[in-house]
């Protein structure tokens, strides 16, 4: 609908490890931008008319904004915990609304059908009740005590386990999930989905992870996550309508979808509607 309210947000625009002086041409909400490494080694981002845009490097990525960010980029304190492996999964382009990409990430009910024998399998399809809230202090959507039976929850998992998740939406196109960590009970693996909105119906998705796993080779970790995300991609490109409907009545949520309900409500409340449609068409 509109990009006004989302213009001051931070968005991922490149992998930090691939930043070079040559630069990368990309876009943010319809505006062409250039991302490159400046002489001082910092990331430089320029907008369509050559104006300098804000830039920072965090969580493996270069972040920028078309507007004037009022807040620093959201914090992921776990990312700085010693002992974690940081995994740059790499970009995957999807012809879908950036908001649909995030909503799919918040959903567990599709695991048995889309991530069959990895994140879920029939007959273990039930989604137990979990807690959802909009945390007013942080202004974030949270879902906690989400449990699901998984045949192979992570590269490091051996056999089926019931996994516990927490989901967090700190920005309209970013989500972080915390997931039971097979080699280290008591800690949470961090898996994120950073979405760069190119247009209302087109996005570059940059998954990123901070895991406790000293065993699995890096390439296997990357491939595991790419597998999962590309399984989702063919779903995301075939949802109708392309834009996320914020109008109740267009789609039918159940108890399993309470995270999505809260996410949509939060988007609507803030007017985060770039990639959304308000009325049924």
Partner 1 sequence: MPAQSPAGPVALWRTRSGRAAAFADRCPHRGMRLSHGFVRGETLSCIYHGWSYAQAGNCLRIPAHPALTPPDTIRVATQHVEDGGGIIWISVGEPAAPPPRFEGLAPLRSMVVEAGIVALEAAAGTRAAGGLLDYTHDDRAVRLLLAPEGQARTLMHVLADEDSNPGERIAASRAAESLRRVAEDIARGGIAR
Partner 2 sequence: MKLYDYVLSPSCYKARLMAALVGVKLDIRPVDFHPGAEHRGPELMALNPAGSIPILEDGDLVLTESSAMLVYLAAKAAPQWLGNDTAGLAARVQQWLSFSHRLTASLGAARLHEMLLRPGNIDALQGQGTAALRELEAGLVEQHIRGQRFLASDRPTVADIACFPYVALAPDGGVSLDPYPAIRLWSRTIRGLDGFIEMPGIHRLHELKPEPVPVVGEA
By CB under 8 A, tell whether 20 contacts partner 2.
no
CA distance 66 to 225: 29
Compose the 83-122 pattern: x for residues touching partner 2 by CB under 8 A, - for all others: -----xxxxxx-x-----------------xx-xx----x
How distant, in Å, are the alpha carbons of 77, 97, 272 from that of 166? Answer: 15, 23, 23
> Looking only at residues 57 through 76 of this chain, which bind partner 2 when binding is defined by CB under 8 A?
none
Half-sphere exposure of 221 (CA within 13 A, CB side): 22
Residue 269 CB, nearest approach to partner 2 (Å):
31
Please choose, from the candidates 73, 72, 57, the residue with its C-alpha nearest in 3D space to the C-alpha of residue 18. 57
Q: Determine, following the binding rule CB under 8 A, whether residue 125 of this chain makes contact with partner 1.
A: yes
Look up residue 270 and give its two tokens: 């803030």
Is there a cis peptide before residue 123, judged by omega within 30 degrees of 0?
yes
Stretch that binds partner 2, among 10-18, 74-82, 99-107, 260-268 (CB under 8 A): 10-18
Between residue 251 and residue 270, which ones bind partner 1 under the rule CB under 8 A? 251-252, 254-257
The span of 135-143, 146-154, 255-263, 270-278 binding partner 2 (CB under 8 A) equals 146-154
Q: Does 39 bind partner 2 (CB under 8 A)?
A: no
Q: Which residues pair with 143 in a beta bridge?
A: 132, 167
Least Å distance, CB 95 to partner 2, is 7
From 82-90, 136-144, 254-262, 273-281, give the range in contact with partner 2 by CB under 8 A: 82-90
Angstrom distances, CA of residue 46 to CA of 35, 69, 199, 201? 7, 15, 18, 23
Site string for partner 1, 186-225 (x = CB under 8 A): ----------------------------------------
For residue 241, is the peptide bond before it cis, meaning its omega torsion is within 30 degrees of 0?
yes
Cα torsion 243, 104, 239, 154: sign: positive
Quote the CA–CA distance of 146 and 133 in Å, as a whole number: 13
Which CB sits closer to Fe ion, 42 or 116? 116
Cβ proximity to partner 1: between 23 and 160 the closer is 160
SS3 of residue 218 by DSSP: helix
Residues lying near partner 1 in the complex (CB under 8 A) are found at: 107, 109-110, 112-114, 122, 125-127, 234-235, 238-241, 245, 250-252, 254-257
């Amino acid at each position: 609908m509109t990009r006004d309210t989302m213009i001051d947000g931070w968005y991922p625009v490149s992998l930090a490890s691939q930043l070079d002086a040559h630069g990368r041409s990309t876009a943010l909400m319809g505006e062409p931008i250039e991302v490159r490494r400046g002489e001082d080694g910092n990331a430089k981002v320029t907008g369509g008319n050559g104006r300098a845009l804000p830039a920072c490097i965090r969580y493996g990525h270069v972040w920028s904004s078309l507007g004037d960010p009022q807040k620093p980029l959201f914090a992921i304190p776990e990312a700085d915990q010693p002992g974690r492996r940081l995994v740059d999964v790499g970009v995957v382009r999807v012809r879908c609304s950036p908001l649909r990409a995030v909503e799919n990430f918040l959903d567990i009910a599709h695991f048995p059908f889309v991530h069959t024998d990895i994140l879920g399998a029939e007959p273990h399809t039930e989604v137990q009740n979990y807690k959802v809230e909009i945390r007013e202090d942080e202004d974030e959507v949270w879902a906690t005590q989400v449990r699901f039976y998984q045949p192979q929850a992570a590269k490091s998992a051996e056999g089926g386990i019931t996994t516990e998740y927490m989901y967090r939406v700190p920005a309209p196109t970013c989500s972080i999930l915390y997931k039971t960590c097979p080699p280290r009970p008591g800690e949470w693996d961090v898996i994120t989905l950073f979405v760069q909105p190119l247009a209302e119906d087109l996005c570059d998705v940059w998954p990123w992870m901070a895991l406790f796993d000293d065993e699995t080779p890096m390439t296997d970790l990357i491939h595991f996550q790419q597998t999962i995300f590309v399984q989702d991609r063919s779903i995301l490109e075939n949802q109708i309508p392309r834009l996320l409907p914020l109008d109740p009545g267009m789609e039918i949520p159940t108890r399993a979808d309470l995270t999505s309900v809260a996410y949509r409500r939060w988007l609507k409340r803030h007017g985060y509607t770039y990639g959304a449609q308000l009325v049924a068409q």
